[in-house]
Amino acid sequence: MLFRELAELAEALAGQASRLKKRAAIVEAISRAHAEAPESEDAGWFALYLAGTPFAEADSRKLNAGGALLSKALLAVSGAEDIELTAAYRRHGDLGAAAFDLLEGREPKAASLTLTDVAETFAGMAVARTTAVRAGLVEGLLLRATPLEAKYLLKLMIGDMRIGVKQSLVEEAIAVAASAPVAAVRHAVMLEADLSAAVRRAFEGTLEAARMRLFHPLGFMLASPVDSPEEAVERFTEKPMVVKAAKKGRKKSESVAVEDVGAEEFRDAPATDVIGVAENEDAGSEVQRASVAAQRVEAFLEDKYDGMRAQVHCGDPEQPGRVAIYSRNREDVTESFPELEEAFSLAASAGVGPLIFDGEILGWDLKEGRALPFAVLGQRIGRKKVSNAWRQQIPVVFMAFDLMYADGSLVLDLPLRERRNKLEAVAERLVEVVRSPVAVDERKKQAQAVMFVEADGDGVERLMISPSRLVESAEDIDRAYADARARANEGVMLKAAGSVYQPGRRGLAWVKLKRELATLDVVVTGAEFGHGKRAGILSDYTFAVRGSGGELLNVGKAYSGLTDAEIAEMSAWMMEHTLEDQGFFRTVEPLMVLEVAFNNIMRSGRHASGFALRFPRIVRIRTDKPVGEIDTVDRVEEVYQSQVDKPVESGA
């Protein structure tokens, strides 16, 4: 098949807005490619290239041709000056479109470039030893190409066709062309990460025989945001239709909900994708909705870590030591985290079989045993060469929170509670094994022998499992949120216990609770005794801002954010400055100033200020700040007004 057919179709698709018409045109082309040469790879290549991918995702080959190399080749072939290329590039913002302008009028004798020629050139580029050889191959292709072909060859080599055709549309077209179910095509593509193989299987009728292989990224499941624990609870207890109806007025969450998958895919999602899992099918009446917080919640709660989402593939006995780490945008980032690669390369020795973990790479404070702020980890992300200095300064761990592949198959369709059980069982066997040293002997490393430089015994455990538990109520979530914040994590995630793993979807089965507004400086007016290990200690503080007449008006209550030592000190201080002892609660002299953070402010009749803070937590004790300088009700009103959604507490 001629490459011209692909270029012409691509050009037509770029000008076609209708998804259905686009699909019909792709179906026609794939069918034709198959009919003309059923034994050839043409139909497969056609689908692959139309999706903008020179190689299948499972294929680790790369063209190694960046913008610089491609522009140089274009200049050589077109004979244009730098300045002309720059002008053309500025006009379109796209090298392919610029090439069309520069090459216009320069037609080769006949369009002769075939898909096979292109595939062979790509294969040559992947193994080319030098840039010169690679550039020569690109020039050779462009010399034989019409301006339109050059346009799409360049776009394809860059990996971005910009014709409004996502892989999911090509998958649909393959299904229609081969009269196979779309779901079967998608499933085969997920397992084998090879669009051209899926074309072959679809026509052969062997889609069902596709088997999962490791070492290509699967899509990541994403979470939708919620603004409060009550909203989270509603998500997991209301019946689907009610959730949908209730969401109608909530543009904000909805628009975020589709940000990653695109409206197109969001619409395609089956009902369960967009509504998540509802455990209580009977809920729905107004009465039940009002008491929703009291209903049973079937969701797991975890901290939301502020690191880098990643998928780890490891443990394949047939490729012992092979590890791949993929980022959320499906890039292979293994090289950037050598200590994780070294550690996970030992997984095969535990005999647990091939595994795919989903989790978060975190910068880890080895002394304190907690995550470093994202800003710290951020300094390392993207580095290809990681020196010992980086390893020591910003050690990394992998915090696993899900298991995608185990026991020889994908486990995405198991409910979360079962995946979680498997994750824990696997981790139990692995945590001790998956280790690597803080630093390595760089000279020996080159000789393939990683030596331990530090006296760190057998190295650092690099695999952690995010603590997870079933939650019961909004109040429970509220506290967990404050605790997570106190551990310097971003917030909490809630995941429906019965939900399956939906790769690449931002569904409602996972929700995230985060967000922080400005902080307020307040004064403590009362203190309450804590629970558990804080029994007998005045650890929960009621605090106030100043009213317009100078009076103190309570605005919230916080119990988290301070260290145990600070709480002990605060408690002793509160005892000494008690004004009125009411048993479990004491009013205290308004002298202690705190800086508090919170998620949002709502109007509420609960406190004298007429406002309540959601998820307040203490950021600092402000001994440096006089009480006269605490924030006012007017300031609270200001922050309240600055919120996009201005919540009002029911009954306020």
Positions annotated as catalytic residues are 304
Burial 558-586 (b: 16+ CB within 10 A, else e): bbbbbeeeebeebbebbeebeeeeeeeeb
In the complex, minimum distance from the CB of residue 274 to ligand AMP, in angstroms, rounded to a whole number: 16
* Residue placing its CB nearer to ligand AMP in the complex, 261 or 493: 493
By CB under 6 A, tell whether 341 contacts ligand AMP. no
Q: State how far the Cα of 550 lies from the Cα of 633, in Å rounded to an integer.
A: 10
360 binds ligand AMP (CB under 6 A): yes
CB 345 to ligand AMP: min, Å: 24
- Minimal distance in Å, beta carbon 431 to ligand AMP? 17
Q: Which stretch binds ligand AMP (CB under 6 A): 300-308, 329-337, 473-481, 554-562?
A: 300-308
| Interface segment toward ligand AMP; rule CB under 6 A; list 119-127, 303-311, 424-432, 604-612 | 303-311
Report the SS3 class of residue 85. helix
Nearest Cα residue to 511 out of 519, 503, 499, 520: 499
Rg of the Cα atoms in the chain:
29
d(CA 631, CA 545): 6
Nearer to ligand AMP by C-beta: 514 or 557? Answer: 514
457-496: contacts with ligand AMP (CB under 6 A):
466, 493
| Under rule CB under 6 A, residue 223 binds ligand AMP | yes
Size of the site for ligand AMP (CB under 6 A): 12
Cβ-in-10-Å burial (0-12, 13-18, 19+) of 65 comes to buried
How buried is residue 644: exposed, middle or buried, by Cβ count under 10 Å (0-12/13-18/19+)?
Answer: exposed
What Cα–Cα distance (Å) separates residue 114 from each residue in 46, 111, 121?
A: 11, 9, 11
Q: Could you give the CA distance from residue 479 to residue 618 in angstroms, rounded to a whole number?
A: 13
**Where are the extended beta strands (E) located within 297-390?**
299-304, 308-314, 324-327, 355-365, 370-371
Task: Name the minimum Å distance from CB 102 to ligand AMP.
Answer: 41
Q: Least separation, in Å, of the C-beta of 246 and ligand AMP?
A: 22
Closer by beta carbon to ligand AMP, 65 or else 399: 399
**CB–CB of 615/481 below 8 Å?**
yes
Q: Give whichever of 122 and 305 is closer to ligand AMP, judged by the CB atom.
A: 305
> How near is the Cβ of 484 to ligand AMP at its closest, in Å?
10
Nearer to ligand AMP, 607 or 614 (CB): 614
DSSP secondary structure code for residue 335 in this structure:
G
Residue number, 374 or 529, with CB nearest to ligand AMP: 374
Select the residue interacting with ligand AMP from 304, 313, 419, 435 (CB under 6 A).
304
Report d(CA 533, CA 536) in Å as an integer. 9
Q: What interhelical angle do 195-204 and 182-192 show, nearest 10?
A: 140
CB nearer to ligand AMP: pick between 176 and 377: 377
Q: Taking CB under 6 A as the rule, does residue 4 contact ligand AMP?
A: no
The answer to whether the beta carbons of residues 577 and 591 sit under 8 Å apart is: yes
User: Is 511 near ligand AMP (CB under 6 A)?
Assistant: no
The torsion of the CA quartet 97, 103, 104, 109, rounded to 10 degrees, works out to -130
Please report whether residue 302 would count as binding ligand AMP according to CB under 6 A: yes
What DSSP element (H or E) covers 403?
A: strand 396-406
In this complex, which beta carbon is closest to ligand AMP, that of residue 219 or of residue 315? Answer: 219
**Quick one: which H or E segment has residue 224?**
strand 222-226
Site for ligand AMP in 228-247 (CB under 6 A): none
CA angle 9, 11, 13 (to 5 degrees): 70
Q: Which one of residues 309, 445, 515, 635 is an interface residue with ligand AMP (CB under 6 A)?
A: 309
> Which CB, 222 or 524, lies closer to ligand AMP?
222
User: Which structure tokens are listed for 115?
Assistant: 């898909």
The answer to whether residue 214 forms part of the interface with ligand AMP (CB under 6 A) is no
Q: Would you count residue 322 as binding ligand AMP (CB under 6 A)?
A: no
Type and span of the H or E element at 252: helix 251-257
Beta carbon of residue 371, minimum distance to ligand AMP (angstroms, whole number): 10
Amino acid at 312: V
Q: How far is the CB of 591 from ligand AMP (least distance, A)?
A: 39
Q: Is 357 in the site for ligand AMP (CB under 6 A)?
A: no
What is the Cα–Cα distance from 549 to 607, expressed in whole angstroms?
17
Residue 63 in tokens:
């063209």
Segment contacting ligand AMP (CB under 6 A): 101-109, 135-143, 302-310, 426-434?
302-310
* 512 part of the interface to ligand AMP, by CB under 6 A: yes
Is 401 an interacting residue with respect to ligand AMP (CB under 6 A)?
Answer: yes
Smallest separation (angstroms) from ligand AMP to the CB of 488:
13
Query: Which residue from 305, 344, 357, 405 is in contact with ligand AMP, where contact means CB under 6 A?
Result: 305
Q: Which residue is nearest to ligand AMP (CB)?
A: 309
Closer residue to ligand AMP in complex, CB, 512/557: 512
- In angstroms, the CA 376 to CA 364 distance is 10
Q: How far is the CB of 464 from ligand AMP (least distance, A)?
A: 11
Closest CA to 265 of 168, 193, 191: 168
Q: Least Å distance between CB 439 and ligand AMP?
A: 27
The residue among 336 and 466 lying less far from ligand AMP, judged by its C-beta, is: 466
Nearer to ligand AMP, 309 or 625 (CB): 309
Closest to 541 measured CA to CA, from 561, 565, 558: 558
16, 82, 136, 153 from 97: Cα distances, Å = 17, 16, 21, 11
Phi, psi of 362 (to 5 degrees): -125, 140
Q: How far is CA 316 from CA 66, 410, 466, in A?
A: 33, 14, 23
* Minimum distance, C-beta of residue 375 to ligand AMP, in the bound complex (Å): 15
The residues that touch ligand AMP, with contacts defined as CB under 6 A, are 222-223, 302, 304-305, 309, 328, 360, 401, 466, 493, 512
